[in-house]
A and B are shown apart, each in its own frame.
Chain A
Amino acid sequence: NAGVTQTPKFQVLKTGQSMTLQCAQDMNHNSMYWYRQDPGMGLRLIYYSASEGTTDKGEVPNGYNVSRLNKREFSLRLESAAPSQTSVYFCASHWEGTGELFFGEGSRLTVL
């Protein structure tokens, strides 16, 4: 049972390049989330998906797009990366029974 799996774990991009962060969960949860974590800023919500086929903006959506491909997968895309998007990105899925979030291991992105 893998839980929440994120790929890649590390990535270095040049300004203007694009990339997609992949996330998959095997817990049959309806809701999935993308957060970014920066020093001193805590976890900030980028986008979330309450169910397959729906997505909503969080606190810091600018510069990102998401796709809820199916119930298992929720991807985050950076169309034109900027140095301000250097961060650690966490995907999480939500168990409605207790409200708990289960996190992936994180993806460390550096934009030069």
Chain B
Amino acid sequence: QKEVEQNSGPLSVPEGAIASLNCTYSDRGSQSFFWYRQYSGKSPELIMSIYSNGDKEDGRFTAQLNKASQYVSLLIRDSQPSDSATYLCAVRGGGGNKLTFGTGTQLKVEL
């Protein structure tokens, strides 16, 4: 079982719709959770971080964390073509500094 799992996609949504990206993790001691966005040929950039159960909103982005289910998700409201990218889920375990990444979900927002 991979430590951090994501559906590779592509996930296609129409412009203006809500995109829902999901991630599960195996280490129950994990403390910190991150969503990075990566455009083709570019480096990853942080868009959301979440540390406690529940929802965290930042503009059009909402991160959701459920530690009991070992599940973290990212919702993108009013999706725009500029949101088309690969979204990487990353988890920091309870044991140290290592950040483990999922394989990423490719999102395509269509006009």
List A residues 63-112 near B (Cβ within 8 Å).
90, 94, 98-101, 103-106
Chain B nearest Cβ from A94, distance in angstroms: 7
Which of B32, B43, B88, B92 is most buried by chain A, counting CB atoms within 10 A of its CB? B43
Known: A42-B103, A99-B34. A50 touches B46 (CB 8 A): no
A100 CB contact (under 8 Å) in B42, B46, B97: B46
Residues of A near B92 (CB, < 8 A) are 99
The CA-CA distance from A101 to B8 in the complex, in Å, is: 22
Which of A42, A48, A103 is most buried by chain B, counting CB atoms within 10 A of its CB? A42
Q: Is A45 an interface residue (CB 8 A)?
A: yes
Chain B window 41-63, contacts with chain A (Cβ cutoff 8 Å), 1 for yes, 0 for no: 01111100100000000000000
Is the CB–CB distance between B98 and A58 below 8 Å?
A: yes
Known: A40-B8, A41-B103. A31 touches B44 (CB 8 A): no
- Interface residue SS majority, chain A: strand
B49 CB contact (under 8 Å) in A33, A45, A50, A98: A98
Residues of B near A101 (CB, < 8 A) are 34, 44, 46, 90, 99
Residues of B near A33 (CB, < 8 A) are 99
Tally B residues with Cβ within 8 Å of A: 21
The CA-CA distance from A42 to B102 in the complex, in Å, is: 6
Is the CB–CB distance between B46 and A94 below 8 Å?
A: no
Which of B49, B88, B101, B104 is most buried by chain A, counting CB atoms within 10 A of its CB? B101
Pick 22 A–B contacts, CB within 8 A, sort by A: A33-B99, A40-B8, A40-B103, A41-B103, A42-B104, A43-B44, A44-B101, A45-B98, A45-B100, A58-B98, A90-B44, A94-B99, A98-B49, A99-B32, A99-B92, A100-B49, A101-B44, A101-B46, A101-B99, A103-B45, A104-B43, A105-B42
Closest 9 CB pairs of A and B: A42-B103, A103-B43, A43-B101, A99-B32, A42-B101, A100-B46, A31-B97, A50-B97, A106-B43
